[in-house]
Chain A
C-alpha cells in the first residue's frame, strides 16, 4: 500500500529512538498519553514532596525486601545455631531467626540491606503520617480529592500492618512478645476470639505456622494491595493536577509551576536517589533492630522496654493505660480491658479519615478546590487536626511509659495516670489553644493588610509622639492574604412558611446549623478585610 511505503520511507530516516517510540505508539498509543503528561505542570513547594518520600521509601522497601527473601527462611522449625555470632552459639532457635542472623553476620552486605529495609519502613510510615497531615492542614482533601484521601489513608493503615508483620518475621524475643500481645488481643474478641486465634496460629500460640503465614501476608498480599493503591493514588494526582497555594497568578483553574519534562523528571528522579542515599547512609551509621542482642523468641522469656515500632506506639499506649476491666457473666468472660483498646485502635485512625466528609457536609460546598488553605484560615479544621495529633502523641507517651519513667526519673504509675486523664483532656485543651492561635494569626493578617507591614522605623511627630512607620503591602501580598474565602454559617431558614404552616426541622439540619455556627460563626473566624475598609484607611490618615 502506498501509505505503508511512504511511512516506511520516512522511518528509514528517523532516529532510532523515534522509531522505537513509533513502534510503541502504534501498539500502546503513547503519544496521546505523552501529549497530556509530558509537560505536566507541578508546583514547587517542599511539602509537596512528602508524598514522594513515601513513594520512594516504598520502592526501596520492595527492592531491599526482594533481596532479603533470597536468604530468609520463613520457617519455625527449631534448629541449633552454629553461625558466627558467638553469644548465641548452640542456642535453640527457629529457622527464621537463624536465617536472619545469617543475613546479618554471614552474608556480605546483608546487614546493610536489612537495616535499609527496616529504616525505610520507619521512614515510610513517618513520611505517610506527615504527608497526610500536610494534606489535612491545607485542606487538600476537598473535592475532587476525597477518594485520593481515602486511598492514602488505606495505604497508611496497610503500611502499619505490613510493618507489623515484617517486624514479627525474624521471630526474635522482642517481636515474639509483640505477636503474643496480638494473640492476647484476638482472644479478647467476644464469642469468636479463641477460634480466630486458633485459625491464625494453626493451633495454640505460638505453634509452628505464624512466621510462614505472616511471610506471605508481608511480602505478597499487603504489598500487592499497596502497590495497586499507590498506582491509583498517583494516577489521581496526575488526573486532578496538583494543588497550589494562593499567590499572584495562581487561581483555582490553573496550576503554576515547572513542567514534568525536564525539570520534574530531574527533580523527582533525583529525589529518589537522594532519599535512597540518605536512608542508606542512616543504615550505615545507626543500628536498627539488633535481633542478635534480643535473642530467639521463647514464650517464657521477656525483656523490659518491649515496644512495637513507632507507628504501633499509639495502640501500645491504649493497651497499657486501659484499666483492667473484665466482666464475668453466665460462664463467659468479656475482656473489656483488652477489647476496648482493640476497638478504639481503629477508631483513632477512622476519626481523621472521615473528617473530610464531615467538613464537606457542614459546608455544603460542592465546588472543586485546587487552592490550598493556610491552616490559620480554617481554624476549626486546624484545631481538630492539632487535637488529633496531640491525642495520638499522648497515646505514644503511654506506649513508652517505662522509658519515660527511667529516663526522666518519673513513676511509671504517674505517667499511666497522666495518659489516662490526658486521653480525654489534652485534645480538648489543644483544640481550644490552636483555635485561639489561628484567630490571632488571622487578626495579624488583617492588620497587615489594612495597616501595612511594620517597617521597624520609628518616627517622631512634631508634637512629640513616636510612631512606627507601616509600609503598605505590595499588591502581590495583598492578594495572597485576601485570596481565601470565608463561609457564612448555615441558617435553618424560616420554620414557618408564608401561609403560616409550620415546617418540620429535621434533627440533622439542626445539627448541621450548629456545627456550621461553630465552624464559621463570629467566634470562629475574623472577617477578612474588605476593599471598602482598605480604601477608607489608606485614603484617610494613612498609618496610626
Chain B
C-alpha cells in the first residue's frame, strides 16, 4: 500500500530510507524519522483500536505523550512483547510489528461495537459497581469477557532477551523538557559551568521548535534548536538525555528518568547494548520546562477517527510530512490554533472552515488566514462530528457561551478532518507529584504549577507562557537562576529575535453545547482512553459525587496510563458547571508518578536473575558445592541445608546425618553466626545490661549462653559469648540477627550509656567456624590439633587457642546438638584448607557433613530454641521455660527485666513452650498448626497455641514437636489436638521439650 497521506516534500523524515512495518497483520511502509503514529497516518490508517468500554473505533488524536487512543502492543516474537506503547512516542524501525490491544475480535468489524451504539445506557459510569456485582457468582463470567474486551495489552510469556540498568546521576541543574524553554534553560545553566542534565522524551531535542511555522532570528526555529544542541554537546559538564521521560518527581529533588536507549533501533537491543536505562537523579535544582498539551473541545461524536488536536496536525504536516486528511475544519477558542490552518494550506490541502467561539477575533494569524480566503464562522463551534469509522462532515452552529446553548440550527459541512483547540493545559504533573496543588490562572484558563517545597523552577508553557519569545526568555532566566542558586556565577546571554504579532485572548469553552441535553445528545467524550463522557460526569455529580477525587473514581476519568492528560481539565469544567461552582473551586485530582508507563525491565534494572539479591557465602562454599549440598536461604546467606547422597531425598539425608552425629561425628559450617568483638573496661558491665543473665563472674577462658530481650521483656536474640580476656569478649548472635544485634548494642551505647567504655566490631566475616559434633569429635579433633582435649583440661563451656590443621585457631567447647562438640574458628582465608584436613582425618571416624535441617532436628531433640522460629516477639524467657537464664538479682535493671515483670507477663496462663509427642509416632505435626484442647468443639474452635518446630527424630524413632501452648508448663502429660485443613486431627501429648538426653550427659563427657 502506498503512503496516501504522505506529502511530497517537507518534514524531518528521510525519504531515502524507507522502512517497512506491520500493523494488525497488514504491511506498510514509512520513513526513517517517522514515529509509528506518523507512519500509520501516512498510510491512511484511520482506526488504531477500539475503545475501552463502548468498543467504538478510535484513531490517532495527538502527536505526543498525551495520545489516548493509539496505545499499542509491539513485538514480533513472544519474548519481545511490550504493551502500552504510545504510537506517537515510538520511533519507526525496520520490521516493527504492532497491533491494537482493544480490538476483539478485530478493530474494523467489532462485535462489541454494538455495545457502543446501543449500550450507552447499559454501561453508565460505575457500571462495574452497579451491573456486575450481582449476582455475585456471575462476576467471574463477566470479568473474563470484560477484561478480554477491554484488552489493556499483555505481558510477554517468555523471558525478555534485553538488559536494562540504572544510572545514578547527580547534578546542579536538571532541566526537564528540551523544547524552547528547556533548551534556553540548559544553555543558561550550562554556560555557568554547572553540572546540567537535559532530558527530553522525544526522539530529538527541540520540542515544538521542530515543527512550528514561527522563526527565530528570521530562520526556521529548528535551526536555532540545532545550534543550541551543538553548543550543549560541547559542554563537558552537560549530559544530554534524549528519549528520556522524567516520570517521577520524588522527595528532596530525587527524580527518576526512563530512557529508551535502543527502542528506536529495533525490538531487541543490538548485541551488548543496554535497551533501557533508569536514571536516578539527585538534582540541586530542577527546571521544569514540560510544556503544555493542547486541550480538545468536547463535542458530539468527537471520538470518531478524524477528530484530532490542532497542533498535532501541524506537527504531522511540518515534522513528518504527513497530511492526515484532505478537507479540514477547525473549531477553536484561541489564536494559536490558526497555525494549523496556515500549515494545512501550505501543504496544499483544503480548509473548509474555521469555527471560532469568539465573536470578533482579529489576531495576526486570524487575519492571515482570512487574507488567504479561509471562511471563518465567528461565535461558532463544531457541535457534532458525523461519520462512523472516519469523519465525513461537521455540524457547525452559532453558540451562546454565556448560557451554554446552541444559538442557530447551523450547517453541516463535508470534511474528513476536524481539529479542535480549547486552549492549552500546562503539563503540571511533575510539579504536582509531591502534593504541590496546581493553581488556576484565569487569564489563560488553565492550571499552572502551584507552590512546592522542592527546589524547582518552572519555565515556559508549563508556567502558562505560551508565546515563543516569552517562553525562551522565561527558560533562560530559570536556567540562570537555578545555576546561581546551585552556587554558580550567572552568565549573560542573548536570545534569538522572535517575530512580533498581535495576539488576542482566548475564551473559555470546554464542552460545546448541543441542541439536545448532554444526556440525550450523541456521546461527547472527555476521556477517550477510559471512555468517559460529559453525560457520565454529569450523572456522577447528580448521584452525589461532588469531590473531584470521587468523580474521578466513579467515572474512571484520568485513570490508567492516560493520567488525564487530555481529559482532566474538560472533566473538571463539566463537573464544576454541573455543580454550579468554579473550576478552581472544583480543584484537581492528585498527580502521581509515573507520568507515562515504565517497563518492568527498566524498574528491575540489573537486579534480576543471579543479581536479583545480594547473596552471602562462607569460605567453605566451594566445598559445599562440590559435595552436592542443597542450600537454604537464611537472610542473605546461602547455607548448606543437607548433603544428599545418590537417591536420597531430604528426609532420608537428614535421617542419615542425624544418626551420624548422634553415633559418630558430624561437621557443620557455622560461619554464618554473627560474631561481635567487644573490647573495653566496661564490656562486662555492658553484657550485664543487654543479656538477661549475669556476666560478672564469667572467668577468662569460659563461655556462656545468653538471652537478649527487648525492653518489653520479649526474647529477640540469643547466643554464646566467651570471655577472651578481662576487657575482651566475643559475642555470637543468630545468623539472621547479626546486623540487628550490632545496631542494638550501638543504639544503647551511643544514646543511653555513652559513659561505658566499650567498642563493638563485627568479625562475622573474619572468622570461619566449623562445628565438630558427636561422640567421636574429640578423637577426630585430636588428630589435627595441638590443643589438650582432655575433658578436665578443656571442659564444656570453655575455649582454647592452639593450632588446628597447622593454622592458629580458637576452639570453643559448646554444643547446639547435645553431643560432645567443638567449634573451631579459623581466620577465613585459611579455613577451607583446615576444613579439608578435618574431612580427610574424619574418614575413619565416620565424619559426616551435615546441614541446617539436621542441626534443627538435633537441637529440637534437645529442646533448644531457635529465636524467630520458636519465638515471635511475644515470648518471655519464662514462657520458654528458660527462667534459669534470667538474672533476677542483677543490680542494674537490664534490658527486659522491667518489661517481663509487667502484670501481663506474669500471668500463669500465657502461651508457654512445651514439647509435643504425637500419639501416633509416625505422624509429623505441620509447623504452624493451631492447637485446641477440645477437638469436638464446633467452629470457631478455641485455639490455645501453635506448633513452632516439628520433625521426625531418627535417633528416637518418633515424631516430636515444640509448641507454644496456653499454660503449657502446667499441662505436662495432658493432650492437645491439631485439627488440620484436610479435616484430620493429630493428637499429641504435652511433654517436656527436652526429648533426648535430658540430663545433658552426652555434651559433658
A binds B: no
